[in-house]
Amino acid sequence: MSKPQIVIVGAGPAGMVLAYQLVTNGVPVRVLEQHPDLEREFRGELLGPSVLPALDSLGILPMLTERGFARPGVERRMFVGAKRRVTLPGGAELGAQISQPGLLALLHELCSRHPHYQLDFKTTALSAVREGERVTALVVRREGREERVEGDVFVVCNGRNSRLRKDLGLDVELSEKPDSTLWLRFDFADAPEALPRTVDVHMFGKGVVVVHFATAGKPRLQIAYSAPGDVGALRKDLPALRERLLPTLPEGLRELVAARIDDRMESQVLAVAIDRLKTWHVPGMLFLGDAAHTMSPAGGQGLNLAIRDSIVAANHMIDAVRAGTPIDAPVFARIEGERRPEIEAAQAGQLRAHRMVHKPLFVEHMMFTMLGVVMRFKTFAIPPPPPVEPRHAVRATPQ
């Protein structure tokens, strides 16, 4: 039986991790990406224990580390206010900081070793073509022209605000819009020794949360500033940005950042969303990653969950190809069924976190004091997410 042609929309982490597993198992894949390259800034960069073993077994993590695009052993630390370090019931969180462009470029390079892989840049999926109920093609725009892309199975990994979701009129069962986040990036090439080695999250009460960390692979400091109201206005009002941001920073960073708040500073506003499709598939088409369930940056989970989605999807899709059965509704339902409980729990946790950071600072202090007392007598057993193993792992090797 001939193998199905899989079309993946979006060359983000969900799309490229899926592509890698399918392609290395001999399944033909065509990826459509709207951007001209894989460069992207202001995205999830911290990989946690829920995906690191899987990326290790695929050989991706060692190659990323070798190339300087992954920094293992990075701790995420939580603070109430500027100085008081607090512990969450799950204990210390250690992960690896990665460069998303580095990860995506490596996956593209590894996939490109196979003749049955194709990635089309500057190609935007506009709408789905249906024959009866089934999606059989996509209308895409490329080089200013519209054309059709045919395939047997379509996997939509095009992230938040997925237009295919809207095009198909899919229902959402959750749609929350917490405060927006202003992402800032500063060049620290002349002061790399000042860059933090940890990812530090500071909660200042009434919705103000400030996160700082160094970008993997480049000497840059990233700061995420979340607060109620129009944080986007702060991009244009640099005195106001200085007034609000600088007092929140540790002393070692404050002056260095103050000297860099000018028109060389890079910034982006993230309209934070937490949403989820009611059903992640229609005949012929499956949604994964942020396209199926957009995550807030709270807890830094979106990247990890998108990768876990793709590992599970590849397991079931390759099972079907090997069994010679179609990749259709029952396969999609198994993928969604395996992923849904973790996604629902993670989104519920993010909503709780957003509510908690809206309390006044003194209430946050009290909550963590009480939590500390309880944790002295009672160990909280927060079950880790179930292991996600790439069952058809083909280990990547440098050529």
Ligand X SMILES: Cc1cc2nc3c(=O)[nH]c(=O)nc-3n(C[C@H](O)[C@H](O)[C@H](O)COP(=O)(O)OP(=O)(O)OC[C@H]3O[C@@H](n4cnc5c(N)ncnc54)[C@H](O)[C@@H]3O)c2cc1C
Single out the residue of 34, 99, 226, 315 in contact with ligand X (rule: CB under 6 A).
Answer: 34
DSSP per position, 32-101: E-SSSSS---S---EE-TTTHHHHHHTTHHHHHHHTT-EEEEEEEEEEETTTEEE--TT--EEEEEE-HH
Tokens of 56: 């290790």
Q: Does 300 bind ligand X (CB under 6 A)?
A: yes
Nearest residue (CB) to ligand X, 24 versus 267:
267
Q: Interface with ligand X by CB under 6 A: which range of 31-39, 186-194, 201-209, 234-242?
A: 31-39
Is 303 a binding residue for ligand X by CB under 6 A? The answer is yes
b/e code 53-85 from CB counts within 10 Å (16+ = b): ebbeebbbbbbbeeeebbbeebebebbbeeeee
Q: Are 302 and 290 in contact (CB under 8 A)?
A: yes
d(C-alpha 263, C-alpha 238), whole Å: 9
Of 32, 182, 346, 357, the one binding ligand X (CB under 6 A) is 32
**Rounded to the nearest whole angstrom, what is the least distance from the CB of residue 325 to ligand X in the complex?**
27
Does the protein bind ligand X through residue 365 (CB under 6 A)? no
What is the contact mask toward ligand X in residues 307 to 346, using x (rule: CB under 6 A)?
----------------------------------------
* Distance, CA of 335 to CA of 316 (rounded, Å): 7
Residues 181-210 that bind ligand X (CB under 6 A): 183
**287 lies in the binding site for ligand X (CB under 6 A):** no
Minimum CB separation of residue 150 from ligand X in Å reads: 16
Minimum distance from residue 377 beta carbon to ligand X (Å): 33
- Spatial distance between the Cα atoms of 40 and 302, rounded to a whole number of angstroms: 15
Residues 97-136 that bind ligand X (CB under 6 A): 124-125
Q: According to the binding rule CB under 6 A, does residue 268 interact with ligand X? A: yes
Per CB under 6 A, 18 contacts ligand X = no
Specify the residue, 24 or 34, whose C-beta has the smaller distance to ligand X: 34
User: How far does the chain reach from its first CA to its final CA, in angstroms?
Assistant: 31
Q: Which stretch binds ligand X (CB under 6 A): 190-198, 229-237, 295-303, 382-390?
A: 295-303
Q: Rounded CA gap, 81 and 224, in Å?
A: 15
Nearest to 276 by CA among 153, 172, 129, 395: 172
Q: How many residues bind ligand X (CB under 6 A)?
A: 35
- From 101, 102, 284, 302, residue interacting with ligand X (rule: CB under 6 A): 302
Query: Which structure tokens are listed for 154?
Result: 């379509």
Neighbours of 278 (CB within 10 A): 9
Measured from the CB atom, the residue of 161 and 369 that comes closer to ligand X is: 161
Angstrom distance (rounded) from CA 146 to CA 141: 4
**Residue 178 binds ligand X, judged by CB under 6 A:** no
Task: Name the CA radius of gyration of the chain, rounded.
Answer: 22
Applying CB under 6 A, which of residues 102, 159, 217, 284 lies at the interface with ligand X? 159
Binds ligand X by CB under 6 A, chosen from 4, 10, 101, 217: 10
CB of 360 to ligand X, least distance (A): 25
| Residue from 84, 163, 218, 334 binding ligand X (CB under 6 A) | 163
When asked if residue 301 is in the footprint of ligand X (CB under 6 A), the reply is yes
> Does the protein bind ligand X through residue 354 (CB under 6 A)?
no
Q: Give which of 298, 46, 340 is closest to 176, Cα–Cα.
A: 298
DSSP SS3 for 223: strand
Using rule CB under 6 A, residue 231 touches ligand X: no
The phi, psi pair for 257, rounded to 5°, reads -70, -40
- Residue (217 or 302) nearer to ligand X, CB: 302
Tell me: does residue 180 bind ligand X (CB under 6 A). no
Cα separation, 197 vs 45, in Å, equals 13
Among 297, 316, 317, 336, binds ligand X (CB under 6 A): 297
* Min separation Cβ 175 and ligand X, Å: 16
List 4, 8, 22, 43, residue binding ligand X (CB under 6 A):
43
> What is the token pair recorded at 15?
């799309």
Closest CA to 88 of 100, 73, 78: 78
Residue 192 has which token pair?
Answer: 């790399």
Contacts with ligand X, residue ranges (CB under 6 A): 9-15, 32-35, 42-44, 46, 124-125, 157-159, 163, 183, 268, 270, 289-291, 295, 297, 300-304, 306
